[in-house]
Chain A
Amino acid sequence: MSVKRYSSMEYDNFEDLLFGHSKYPVKTGLGLEIGAGYTTAEINYAPRPDAAKNKATLVNEYERITRDIMERMVQVGFPSVVLETEHVQQMTNNPTWGGEVATAQKAIMEKYHDEYGIKCALRHTVGDIRGDRESIDLRGDAYSRILESFEQVASSGADMLSIESLGGKEVFDHAILRNDMRGVVFSVGILGALDVEYIWQDICSIAKKNNVVAAGDTACAQANTAMFVAGGLLDFKLSHSVASVVRAISASRSLAAYEAGAIGPGKDCGYENNIIKAITGYPISQEGKGSTCAHSDLMGNMAMQCCDLWSNESVEYRGDFGGTTVQCWGENLSYDCSMMNTALEAGVGKTLRDVLMVSDRYRDPQAFILSYDNAYRIGEVITAHPDDLYLRAKEAGMKACELIESGSAGFLELSKFEKATIKKAQNDLKSLDENMESFIDNCLDIYSSEVDTFNPSNYGL
């Protein structure tokens, strides 16, 4: 499949960005239309560790999970739901396992859909198994197994296909621990985007062949790594401003999936999806306060501002006081969606969007740059350089620096340290090479010697 770069924004104005509405809604699954005027909970779960012993125990576990979720949804009267199955590695390594899990889950969902009319869809996120102990082999046998896994789930009941791709991670881990912006731009903006573009052309072909949705990727392995290492307000591990710059750059990486043919909804943990939605007009999944089962969050409300699916990231399946964990967290998410859908029905969606956004806008630099108006502005600089992966990544980072600096003249309070790190990041980005060719040449020299697992041929370089 061919790659089509975005050279303009699909949304004309950031004011038009709103939860539950996307310019290009996605019809999928059993009666569901994502981004067509309502939001839907996307419930994500991990099987109990012992359940992955063999195929039978794993299928049985996912049947329990699926039945529990569907039962709770109808018991409390929610009109729609999405289930996301993120593969444990056994499922991707043994593609038929993933296929059988998808078949079993879909059979239960169909039963509930037939009986109650609940709109529902199943996303399968295949595991990126391309790394092992010694090396990362992005285009070898493991990649073939990934594609086989996609084929199996796409032909067995999964409605939407996703992956959290690893490309660029080996250099990124090295760079982020050294505040090395050159390495960040190279790993996320070049290596990551090349990998995303490569795999999504294949995923889109499989989706097309099986008449399912090529949904989208996330820069989880990069931007979320930075965000989680940065941690809370009193964690002094990594500058939150630097993590924000990584996030802005990561939008250029995640966009590559849509340029290769994906149509959304992008993965929940891609906080850069606000930027992606503004550029592409496709629906997005997001996580925030409903994902505190998995991690703390500095933009728990704000993440709802433009979501079409509202997710809990992941929760281990087990009993809790209010039912099983998937039931408790699913109900929580669905009540949030009910609130958003009520606001839409009542014509006050944009007011609620703004309340959600502004409640977190000044909590953290990352929340500030991802507020829908600023997310839009980052999208604009990315689309201004459609054919230059380097420039669009670098400019996205620069824009984040500029936004944070200007925000600090207003209500966005920055510590002295954050002010210093944003200034340094800005200078580091400014001092990078003029053009992509020399940038890549220099980076190949530097990181081939500094990062032992970095193999340029993984990226066709």
Chain B
Amino acid sequence: MIDINPKNILIRYNILVESDMTPEEVAEQLYPTDPHILQVAKAVFEGDEDEVVAALQNTIDSGVDPLSLINDALMAGMEVVSTLYDYGLLYLPDVIISAQAMIEGIEYCKEQSKQTHESKGKIISYVVEGDIHDIGKKIVTVLLRANGYEVIDLGKDVPVEEVVAAVKKEKPIMLSGTALMTTTMHAFKDVNSRLLASDINVPVVCGGGAVTQDFVSDYDLGVYCEEAADVPKIADSILQGLDIRKLRDTFHKH
């Protein structure tokens, strides 16, 4: 069997660019300083649901308003996780596990408060009609919730009619749709046409499998998204006032 040293044949760039610091070391530099809030943020980073609730309880017992902890502590912890993910120091399962812990924390804070919590905005998430491949939608949904958005998850194989009806009812700031197959992704165009016919100009963020930027650029409301982690960033950009043209300028990479 032939074997050779591959150094002149391939380069493992992931090793070349690897940070000398561990994720935990980088996180230490990013955590909030308040000791109570630090405990909550660390528990989110660790993805420990029980520890998140315990840290929240301690903080609430010290007189802090539960709802304020959603943004000040839970979101702050998740921000550290998101930053490390963007740096390539954490991987998707780490983000998912932290996000689940944070979502538990949000529910706990809501239970402890007499007031209602306003999310950053409402987003409809779905998999197109004829398609049952939903791992991409699951990832997007968790990431959006972890970033403070209320997600109306319509599930998989969702008929166009149902998507349009949900938009009319919920009035979301955007839709997030995924499709694996070229044969099903044309349902995005039908949603686009039906929304425009009703004078609804909500961005339809599309990604997954065979979906391409060229395809999505072909209908008025379409915004192509290649990376699940970009979806919360697109939502943030919508809140900052970017319209579909500007969203395409920012997030269309090809």
Contact = CB atoms under 8 A, between A and B. Distances in A.
Interface in B117-137: 130, 132, 134-135
A238 B93 contact: yes
A49 interface: yes
A229 B92 contact: yes
B183 interface: yes
B182 A316 contact: yes
B186 A49 contact: yes
A178 B1 contact: no
A126 interface: no
How many interface residues does chain B have, given as a range? Answer: 35 or more
A176 B5 CA distance: 33
Interface in A145-194: 173, 176-179
B2 A351 contact: yes
A47 B97 CA distance: 39
Interface in A47-94: 47, 49-50, 52, 88-89
| Interface secondary structure of B, over-half rule | loop
A359 B10 CA distance: 8
Interface stretch (A200-208, A265-273, A413-421, A434-442): A413-421
B6 A361 contact: yes
Interface string B175-202: 0000001110110000000000000000
B122 to A, nearest CB: 22
Contact of A15 (B1, B181, B185): B1
Contact of B3 (A225, A236, A358, A413): A358
B158 A49 contact: no
Given A234-B13, A358-B4, A415-B15, A49 B183 contact: yes
B114 interface: no
A46 interface: yes
Interface stretch (B34-42, B83-91, B246-254): B83-91
B138 interface: yes
B96 interface: yes
Contacts of B22: 416
A415 B92 contact: no
Contacts of B12: 233, 362-363, 413, 415
A88 B18 CA distance: 42
A103 to B, nearest CB: 21
B210 A417 contact: no
A131 B6 contact: no
Contacts of A336: none
Interface centre among A132, A133, A238 (most CB of B within 10 A): A133
Contacts of A173: 134-135, 138
A354 B18 contact: no
A234 B17 contact: yes
A202 B45 CA distance: 48
Contacts of A354: 1-2
Contacts of A1: none
A164 B79 CA distance: 39
Given A229-B135, A233-B13, A234-B88, A133 B5 contact: no
A362 B15 contact: no
A353 to B, nearest CB: 9
A411 interface: yes
A411 B5 contact: yes
Interface string B87-112: 01111110011000000000000000
A89 B130 contact: yes
B91 A239 contact: yes
Given A89-B130, A236-B88, A363-B10, A179 B93 contact: yes
A178 B96 contact: yes
Contacts of A361: 3, 6
Contact of A415 (B5, B18, B134): B18
A167 to B, nearest CB: 14
Contacts of B157: 132-133
B183 A88 contact: yes
A414 B157 CA distance: 39
B6 to A, nearest CB: 4
Contacts of A415: 12, 14-15, 18
Contact of A177 (B6, B96, B132, B181): B96
Nearest to A240: B14
Contacts of B139: 177
A238 B155 contact: no
B183 A46 contact: yes
Contact of B1 (A133, A233, A238, A373): A373
Interface in B50-106: 85, 88-93, 96-97
A138 B61 CA distance: 50
A355 interface: yes
A362 B93 contact: no
A233 B14 contact: yes
Contacts of B138: 173, 177
A4 interface: no
B83 to A, nearest CB: 13
Contact of B183 (A47, A238, A355, A416): A47
Interface in A21-65: 46-47, 49-50, 52
A132 B132 contact: yes
Contacts of B2: 351, 354-355, 357-358
Interface centre among B17, B135, B138, B156 (most CB of A within 10 A): B135
B135 A225 contact: yes
A373 B2 CA distance: 11
Nearest to A373: B1
Contact of B132 (A46, A131, A416, A417): A131
A111 interface: no
A225 B182 CA distance: 17
B197 to A, nearest CB: 21
Contacts of B91: 236-239, 417
21 contacts: A49-B183, A50-B186, A88-B183, A131-B132, A132-B157, A133-B157, A173-B134, A177-B93, A177-B138, A225-B135, A229-B135, A233-B14, A234-B14, A234-B88, A236-B90, A351-B2, A357-B2, A360-B10, A415-B14, A415-B18, A417-B18
**A-B CB proximity, top 6 nearest:** A354-B2, A237-B92, A236-B88, A362-B6, A179-B93, A131-B132
Given A237-B92, A363-B12, A415-B18, 4 more contacts: A49-B186, A131-B132, A173-B135, A178-B97
Interface of B: 1-6, 9-10, 12-15, 17-18, 22, 85, 88-93, 96-97, 130, 132, 134-135, 138-139, 155-158, 181-183, 185-186, 210
